Structure 1
Amino acid sequence: MRKFKLLLTGILLCFSFTVFAQQTLKGVVKDKTTGEGLPGVTVVVKGTNNGTSTDFDGNFELKNVKSGDTIVVTYLGFKEQEVTIGTNFNITIQLEESTERLDEIVVVGYGSTTVKDATGSVEAITAKDFTKGNIVTPENLLSGRVSGVSVKTSGAPGSGSEIRIRGGSSLGASNNPLIVIDGLPINEGSVTGSRGILASINPNDIESFSVLKDASATAIYGSRAANGVIIITTKKGSSSYSLDYDLQFNFGKLNDRVDVFSAGAFRDLIAQRRPGDLGLLGSASTDWQDQIFQTSVSTIHNLSVRGALFDKIPTRLSVGFTDIEGSILTSNFNRANVSLSMNPSFFDDHLKIGLNYNRAFEDSRFGDSGQIGSALRYDPTQPVYDATNPYGGFYQHMSGAIIANGTRNPVAELLLRNNTGKVFRQYGNLKFDYKFHFLPELSAVVNLGIDKTKGSTIDLNDYDLGRPSAALINAGVDSRGSQERKNELIDAYLKYGKEFGDFKFDVTAGYSYQRFENFGSFTGNIFAPNNVASSFADPDVVNIGYLGRVNVSYKDKYLLTLNYRRDGTSRFSEKNRWGDFGGASFAWQMSEEDFLKDSNVISTLKLRASYGLTGQQNLPGVNDLYLQRYRFGNQNSQYLFGNQVILSTIPSEINEDLKWEETATIEVGIDYGLFDDKITGSLNVFKKNSTDLLADSPTAYNFTNSVFQNNGEFVTRGIEFSASADVIATEDINWNVNFNATFLDREIEKLALGQDVQIFNISGGTGGYAVLRREGEAPDSFYVFKQLYDTAGNPIEGAYADLDGNGIINDDDRYIKENPQANVILGLQSSFNYKKFDLAFNLRANIGNYVYNNVNSSRAQYALLQDNAVAGNIPTSVLNTNFINTSDVITSDIYIENASFLRMDNITLGYTFDRPIKKYSTNSVRIWAGMQNVFTITNYSGLDPEVFNGIDNLIYPRARTILLGVNVKF
C-alpha cells in the first residue's frame, strides 16, 4: 500500500509540474490537538475554483497561487480557517476541532439540512459522539445519548433491543420506531435463527444517526412514523487513502445472583419444614447458578480501507468479525460482515452515484435462559454429574426413569441441547442524484434498495436411535425451520433549490414504492408421535407513497417547513387503503435579530413550533385481515365423506373496516447556545395524541372472541432538555459534557366500550394477571390487591384491604399501583482529553419505573420445597414473607417494587501514540481499556431493575465486562 501511495503521489507530482509553470503553494495541515496530519482536507483559493485536497499525511500542493491570495481550509468536524499567503510558499496549518454545531449536516427524510436550518425536533449523533464500550448491535451506540430515546437490551449476546422514542404511541400495534438505513426503510421483523433485526449490522460501519422525533419531522414517512424515525447513515468512500484496524477483547462475568438457600441452609430448612423429605436429599453442595453461568471471552475485529479506486471512485471496503460468548453455558453469537461503499461523480459533479452493499453472516447458539429458573429450583444437595446415570452421565432425579414432572438438571439441559441458528443477510442501495445541466437548481434522485434475509434453525437434543441418552424422557428432539424475508424499494423524487433575494426555497416531491415478502417452513419435532410439519407464506405487503416537502427561509431568520405524504397499503381494504399525513413547522432565529446579535451571552437562540399527523399500520402477524380466510380444524374437526376422512375448514376472523391508527403531535421548542456556543442544547415541550388505536378487542361475532379493531385514544405529554458544554478547551486539555433529561406522562383516554383490558403476562397461579389497561391510567399499569400486615409489620398471607368496603374481597378491591415506564429518563456523558490521554464514561438513570417481581411471586413460597416428589430450592426472600403458597397471592402489591436506578454503562481510558512505527507508515496507535456495566444503584431487590414490560421473570442477566482494545491507523 505504501508503494502504491508513493507511486500515486509521484504521478500526481509529475503531472502537476508538467501542466503548471507557476508558483506552487506547498504545505501540511495538522490536527492542532494531536499534531497528526489530516487527510482529505479541502484547500481552496478564496473566490476561485482553484483547490485541492491533502494526501494521507496531510500534505498538499496548490498551483497558480500568488502572494496576497487567501486560501480557505475546511475539514469536517474542524473550524474553517483562512490563511493569507505572503512570501512564504511552504506553510503549516493547524486546525482546531470545531465546537460549532450550527453548520453540522443533519440527515432527514429524503434529504438533509443543517442544525441551524432545522425546524423540527431532529437530533444527530455522529461517530465521535457514540456511546463507547462493548457495542455489538448498532442501536446501543445511542444508549443514553438522545433525549426522549430509551434503548433497553438484555444480556444475551447480539440480542435485539426495545427502542422507544418518547415512550411509543400505540397499545396493540408496534411501538418500535421506523429504522431507515441509507434511505431504505427496513421491516422490524427478523427471521428465524436471528437474534434481532439489527443483529446483522456492524456498528463499525455506522457514520451517524438522525433521530426524528416530532411529527413535522417524521411526517415525510407518513403511515409508519407514529413512533419516530431513526435514520442510519453508513460510512462512505473517500478519495484519500486510509487503513484502520480495530481489535477488542472482552471478559465478562456475572457478579449478581438470585439469593437461594445454600446446600447447608437447604438441609436445615427441609429438616424444619418438611422433615419427611430428608431422605430425598444428597450429600453434595452445588451452587447451580454458578454451574450454568460462565466467564465469557469475546473478540471483535474490524478492518476498513478507504481510497480512490482507479483514482476516480471514492471507495470504502470493510470487514468485521464478531465472536461474542454469552454468560449462560453454550450461548454464543458469531457475525461476519463485509461492507462496500462507492461514491463516484461524473459530468463535473452533476451526476453523483452512491452504492452501498453489505453482506452479513450470523451464526448463533441459543443457550436456554429458561434454565436460570431451573438453577434456582434444583436441589443444591445433588451433584452435577453421575457416571452411573444412563441419561448422559448427569445426575437426574430418578424413580426407575427420570421423574416426569420434576425440575431437570439445568447443566444437562444446556450441554445436551444444541439449538442453533444461521442467517445470511444482504442489503444495500444504489442511488443516482443528477443535477440538470440546463437547470442546476433542479436535481432528480432515484434510490433503489433491497434487503434480503434467509434464516434457519436446528434444535437438537441428544438422542440415539430414538432412545433417550440425554436428560429427557422422550425420544429426543429434532426440530428445524427456515424463513426468508425480502424488502424491495424504489424511490424517485425531484429536488429544487433556489434563492430569490432574501428568500430561499427548497422543494422536494416524489414517489415511493416498497414491497415486503415473508415465507418459511417448520418441521416441528420429527420424533413427536403427533408431529405435524407446517409452512407459511404471508401475503405480500405493498406500501405506496406520494410525498412532498417545501422549505422556505427569509433572511435566514424565519424558517418554514411543510410536509405532506399520501400513503397506500395493502394491509387494509380498498375503502380504507389510503391515508393522508403531513406536518408544518416554523422556526425563528432570534439570535440573528438586532436585539440579540451582539449579545456576549446568547450566541444562538432559535424558537420552534410544529404540528403534524403520522400513522401506524404495523400489526403483529396481520397482513390481510380484510380478506375472508379459512383454516383447517384439528383432529376433533373431521367428518366422514364416504370412506374418506375430511378435515373441516373454519372461517377466520375478518375486519374490512380496519384503518390507520393516527398520531397527532404538537410541539414548541427552543435551541440555545451560550458564550459563543460553548454551551448548547434544546428544550422541547410536546403532546402526542393517538386515535383510532389498533387493538385486539373483544367481539361478539366474527368466528372469534377478539379481533383487531380501531378503538381507543392514548395521549403522551412530555418535556425534553439537553445540554452540551465544553467545560475546558485548551491546547492540552479538552473536556466535554453532555446531559439530557426527559419527562413523560402517558395516559389512556379511551378504550373499546370503556372496558378494562387484562394483560396475562405473569407466571404462577392459574389465569393470574397483574397488569391492566384502563381509561385515565398509564398503559400497562399494575393492578393488584393492597397487602395487609400484622402489628409486627409482617405481611399476612392472603389478607388484603377491602377497598370498596362491601365485606367481600374480589377483583373490585384491586387498585392501580404505578406502571413500568419511567417518568424521568436521564443521560450523562463525559469525554475528557489530556494531551494523548482520553477518558470517557456514560451514565443513565430512570426515575419512577416500577417492576413486578415475578421471581418472588412465583417461587418464594414454602410449598415449593416439594417439587413433584423431589426436593426443590426456593429464593431466600421467602424469609421476608413466610408465605406458604404464593399461587394465591401473586396479585399482592408486595411484589410491586420501585426500580428507579442510576447505571454507569461504561468507562474507557485510552492513550494514543503518534506515528509510533514510522517504518510502516502508521499514523497513530491507540490502546485502551474499559469496563461495561460498571455499577447500578437501585433499591430493586431483583437481578436487574431494567426489564422488558416491567415483569421480572428471570431475564437474561447483564455481565460486568472488562474491555481491552487497540486502534491502529495507517
Structure 2
Amino acid sequence: MFTFAIVLNHNFNQFMKKKLVFILMSLLFVVGAYAQRMVTVQGVVTDATFKEPVIGANIVVKGTTLGTICDVDGKYVLENVPADGTLVFSFIGMKTVEVKVDGKTTVNVELSDDVQKLEDVVVIGYGTSKAKDLTAPISVVKSDQIASQATTSPMSALQGKVPGMNVVSSGAPGSGPKVTIRGLGSFGDTSPLYVVDGMFYDNINFLNNSDIQEISVLKDASAAAIYGVRAANGVVIITTKKGKRNTKARITYNGYVGVQTATNVLDMANSHEYATLVLEANRQAYEPLVKASIEKFGGNYDSLTFGADTDWYDELLRPALMTNHGVDIAGGSEKATYAVGVNYLYQNGIMDTRNSYNRLNFRANFDFEATDWLKVGSNIVISNSEQYNAENSAWLAAYNMPSLIPVYDYSRSDDEAFPEKFASPQQIGLTNNFSNPVAIAKYNNNSLNENFQVMANFFAELNLIPNKP
C-alpha cells in the first residue's frame, strides 16, 4: 500500500510537469504570435491623374487614433500597425481609400478626385458656381450639418464648422450669437450681412435650423463685391428648402426634447471654509460677521459650524428644458414646386426664475414656371416670438455673496421682507455691496421682448436668351 502511494505521487508529479511545460509553451506561442501581428508599413501616396505625390495626405489605422501624414515626396512610414488591420487614406477633395494590410510592409496608394464634391453647386453673390471653379474662400455648410444641432439660431449651429468664422453664444434663451468673419473690423459693428433667399437681414434668429437647405459663407471682397459696403464684414447666404418638381407631397416631421445644464460651475467655499479663511486673514475685522451669522441662524463658534451654509450657484441653477417640433410639406408638379412648414421652439433658461424663449414660425415658398421664358415665385416667413430675460447681475452677486446666510429667513416681518421672506446680508453686518442673489433673480422685471415679423418677397425671372441645348 505504501509502495503504491509512492508510484501514484511520482506519476502525478510527472503529469503536472508536463502540464506546466505545455502551459509555458502556449504562452510563448501566444506572445510570439502577438508580436508577429504588429508590422511597420511604408509607402507612397500619389495622384491617380497626374501621378504626383499627394503632400499631407492622411493615413490612419481604421478604428484607432494611430496615424501619420505624407511628406513632400508623398512618402509615409507607420509603425505598430496590426498585420490584419486596415489603413484609411484621405485628402481634401479626393476620395477616401481603405486598404487591408494583410501582413504587407509596403502599401502604395493612388487617390482620385472626388468628382461629386467638385461638381457641387455653391451659391455666391453673383448666382451659383461649381466648387471646382471657385478661387475665392467660400465655405458651404449643408442642411444635415445644421439640422443635427440643437440650437435656437442657425448661426450657433455653425460653431466650429467654418474656418475663419468666430461664433460666440451667450447661452441666454433665444439670444443669437456674436459672429465675426476673419477677425474684428475697424468699425463698431462687425457682424456679417445675411442674405436669405435674396433678401437682406441683420440676423437670422427667426429661422429654424430644419428650414435651411444650405449656408454659404463669403469671406473675401471678390466673392461679396456685389453687395457693396454692407459686405465689408463678410456675407452669409442662406438658401431655404424648396419642393422638387414631379414629386408627390411629402410630409416630414423633425423634433427633439432635451435638457440643458450648466458646466464648469465654480466650486465656492462653504461656511466653515469661508470662516476659517477670513478669521486667519483678519480675525478682528471678520469675527463679528462670523458670530452674527451663528447668533442669527445657529451654529457653534468653537467648531466653526453654521446653521446657514448656502451654495448660491446651486440655488440659482436648474436643468433647463429645450424642445423643438416642426412639420413640413413639400412637393411639385411639372411646372411648379411648393414647400410649406410650421415650427415651434421652446427654450427654458438655466437661471431658476422666469427666463425663457418661445417662437412659432410659418414658412412657405412657391415657384411656378409660367412660360419657357418666365418664372415667378414667392418666399414668405412669419415669425412670432416671446423672450423673457433673466437678471444676469444675480451671477455676480452669487460670486461675491458668502454662504453665511440662508436664502430665506421666515422670522422677518412684512416690513423687512415682502412678499417673500428673503434673508438679507445686512442682517449679519455685511455692507450694501452684498445682495441676496436669489432675491435679485426673483424680483427682476423679467423684461419681455415680443417680436412679430412678416418677411415676404415675390420675384419674377425672365430668360430672354434661351439656353443652349
Is TM > 0.5 for Structure 1 vs Structure 2?
Answer: yes
- C-alpha contact 1:374 1:407 (8 A) present in aligned 2: yes
Q: Of the candidates 394, 398, 413, which is equivalent to residue 421 of structure 2?
A: 394
Q: Of the candidates 213, 217, 222, which is equivalent to residue 211 of structure 1?
A: 217
Q: Does 1:429 align with 2:457?
A: yes
Quickly say closer, same or farther: Cα 1:129–1:248, change in 2 above 3 A: closer
Q: Which residues of structure 1 form unaligned runs of 5+?
A: 1-97, 189-196, 442-497, 500-970
- C-alpha contact 1:397 1:406 (8 A) present in aligned 2: no
Work out which of the two has the higher radius of gyration on C-alpha atoms and give 1 or 2: 2
Letter paired with 1:177: P
Partner of 1:160: 176
What is the CA-CA distance between 1:303 and the residue it aligns to?
Answer: 0.8
- C-alpha contact 2:289 2:430 (8 A) present in aligned 1: no
Partner of 2:291: 279
Partner of 1:173: 188
What is the CA-CA distance between 1:118 and the residue it aligns to?
Answer: 2.3
In 1, Cα distance between the equivalents of 2:268 and 2:426?
26
- C-alpha contact 1:131 1:145 (8 A) present in aligned 2: no
Residue by residue, what CA displacement relative to the aligned partner does 1:708-730 show, whole Å, maximum 9, x if unpaired? xxxxxxxxxxxxxxxxxxxxxxx
- C-alpha contact 2:169 2:177 (8 A) present in aligned 1: yes
Quickly say closer, same or farther: Cα 1:394–1:409, change in 2 above 3 A: farther
- C-alpha contact 2:358 2:385 (8 A) present in aligned 1: yes
Residue by residue, what CA displacement relative to the aligned partner does 1:434-456 show, whole Å, maximum 9, x if unpaired? 112xx325xxxxxxxxxxxxxxx
- C-alpha contact 1:251 1:295 (8 A) present in aligned 2: yes
Aligned residues: percent identity? 29
Residue by residue, what CA displacement relative to the aligned partner does 1:333-369 show, whole Å, maximum 9, x if unpaired? 1111110111111113x21123110011111111112
Quickly say closer, same or farther: Cα 1:295–1:210, change in 2 above 3 A: same
Partner of 1:375: 398
Residue by residue, what CA displacement relative to the aligned partner does 1:32-79 show, whole Å, maximum 9, x if unpaired? xxxxxxxxxxxxxxxxxxxxxxxxxxxxxxxxxxxxxxxxxxxxxxxx
Quickly say closer, same or farther: Cα 1:99–1:395, change in 2 above 3 A: farther
Q: Of the candidates 114, 119, 129, which is equivalent to residue 130 of structure 2?
A: 114
In 1, Cα distance between the equivalents of 2:190 and 2:115?
35
- C-alpha contact 1:345 1:352 (8 A) present in aligned 2: yes
Q: Does 1:302 align with 2:326?
A: yes
Q: Secondary structure at the match of 2:116?
A: coil
Residue by residue, what CA displacement relative to the aligned partner does 1:684-708 show, whole Å, maximum 9, x if unpaired? xxxxxxxxxxxxxxxxxxxxxxxxx
- C-alpha contact 1:110 1:183 (8 A) present in aligned 2: no
What is the CA-CA distance between 1:175 and the residue it aligns to?
Answer: 1.6
- C-alpha contact 1:394 1:409 (8 A) present in aligned 2: no
Quickly say closer, same or farther: Cα 1:257–1:276, change in 2 above 3 A: same
In 2, Cα distance between the equivalents of 1:385 and 1:173?
44
Superposed counterparts of 1:39-58, under 5 Å: none
- Structure holding more strand per residue: 1
Q: Does 1:248 align with 2:256?
A: yes
How many residue pairs end up in the alignment? 332
- C-alpha contact 2:342 2:361 (8 A) present in aligned 1: yes
In 2, Cα distance between the equivalents of 1:394 and 1:408?
14
In 1, Cα distance between the equivalents of 2:153 and 2:404?
40
Larger deviation, residues 239-248 vs 115-124: 115-124
In 2, Cα distance between the equivalents of 1:135 and 1:249?
12
In 2, Cα distance between the equivalents of 1:280 and 1:428?
64
In 2, Cα distance between the equivalents of 1:435 and 1:171?
42
Quickly say closer, same or farther: Cα 1:100–1:399, change in 2 above 3 A: closer
- C-alpha contact 1:107 1:210 (8 A) present in aligned 2: yes
Q: Does 1:440 align with 2:461?
A: no
Partner of 2:436: 409
- C-alpha contact 2:192 2:235 (8 A) present in aligned 1: yes
- C-alpha contact 2:346 2:359 (8 A) present in aligned 1: yes
Superposed counterparts of 1:283-682, under 5 Å: 283-308=307-332, 313-329=336-352, 330-348=354-372, 350-389=373-412, 390=414, 391-397=418-424, 405-417=432-444, 418-436=446-464, 439-440=465-466
Q: Secondary structure at the match of 1:364?
A: strand
Letter paired with 1:411: V
In 1, Cα distance between the equivalents of 2:155 and 2:459?
25
Q: Secondary structure at the match of 2:229?
A: helix
Q: Does 1:182 align with 2:182?
A: no
In 1, Cα distance between the equivalents of 2:139 and 2:420?
57
Q: Secondary structure at the match of 2:447?
A: strand
Q: Secondary structure at the match of 1:258?
A: coil
What is the CA-CA distance between 1:121 and the residue it aligns to?
Answer: 2.2
In 1, Cα distance between the equivalents of 2:238 and 2:375?
20
Q: Secondary structure at the match of 1:268?
A: helix
- C-alpha contact 1:120 1:217 (8 A) present in aligned 2: yes
- C-alpha contact 1:357 1:429 (8 A) present in aligned 2: yes
In 2, Cα distance between the equivalents of 1:104 and 1:137?
26
In 2, Cα distance between the equivalents of 1:277 and 1:308?
75
In 1, Cα distance between the equivalents of 2:448 and 2:228?
38
In 2, Cα distance between the equivalents of 1:247 and 1:337?
14
In 2, Cα distance between the equivalents of 1:297 and 1:129?
23
RMSD: 2.5
What is the CA-CA distance between 1:380 and the residue it aligns to?
Answer: 0.8
Normalized against structure 2, the TM-score is what? 0.66
Superposed counterparts of 1:778-789, under 5 Å: none
What is the CA-CA distance between 1:178 and the residue it aligns to?
Answer: 1.3
In 2, Cα distance between the equivalents of 1:404 and 1:425?
47
In 1, Cα distance between the equivalents of 2:116 and 2:291?
75
- C-alpha contact 1:206 1:232 (8 A) present in aligned 2: yes
- C-alpha contact 1:351 1:433 (8 A) present in aligned 2: yes
Normalized against structure 1, the TM-score is what? 0.33
Quickly say closer, same or farther: Cα 1:374–1:295, change in 2 above 3 A: same
- C-alpha contact 2:376 2:460 (8 A) present in aligned 1: yes
Q: Secondary structure at the match of 2:272?
A: helix
In 1, Cα distance between the equivalents of 2:420 and 2:145?
52
Letter paired with 1:394: K
- C-alpha contact 1:131 1:142 (8 A) present in aligned 2: no
What is the CA-CA distance between 1:131 and the residue it aligns to?
Answer: 7.1
Residue by residue, what CA displacement relative to the aligned partner does 1:575-594 show, whole Å, maximum 9, x if unpaired? xxxxxxxxxxxxxxxxxxxx
Q: Does 1:261 align with 2:273?
A: no
Superposed counterparts of 1:30-109, under 5 Å: 100-109=116-125
Letter paired with 2:173: P
Q: Does 1:137 align with 2:141?
A: no
In 2, Cα distance between the equivalents of 1:420 and 1:326?
14
Superposed counterparts of 1:887-926, under 5 Å: none
- C-alpha contact 2:426 2:432 (8 A) present in aligned 1: no
- C-alpha contact 2:379 2:458 (8 A) present in aligned 1: yes
Q: Which residues of structure 2 form unaligned runs of 5+?
A: 1-113, 298-306
Q: Secondary structure at the match of 1:324?
A: strand
What is the CA-CA distance between 1:158 and the residue it aligns to?
Answer: 2.2
What is the CA-CA distance between 1:267 and the residue it aligns to?
Answer: 2.3
Residue by residue, what CA displacement relative to the aligned partner does 1:215-267 show, whole Å, maximum 9, x if unpaired? 11111112112221111111112342211111201112223222322122122
What is the CA-CA distance between 1:280 and the residue it aligns to?
Answer: 3.3
Larger deviation, residues 317-326 vs 270-279: 270-279
In 1, Cα distance between the equivalents of 2:254 and 2:411?
49
In 2, Cα distance between the equivalents of 1:347 and 1:198?
34
- C-alpha contact 2:146 2:210 (8 A) present in aligned 1: no
Letter paired with 1:181: V
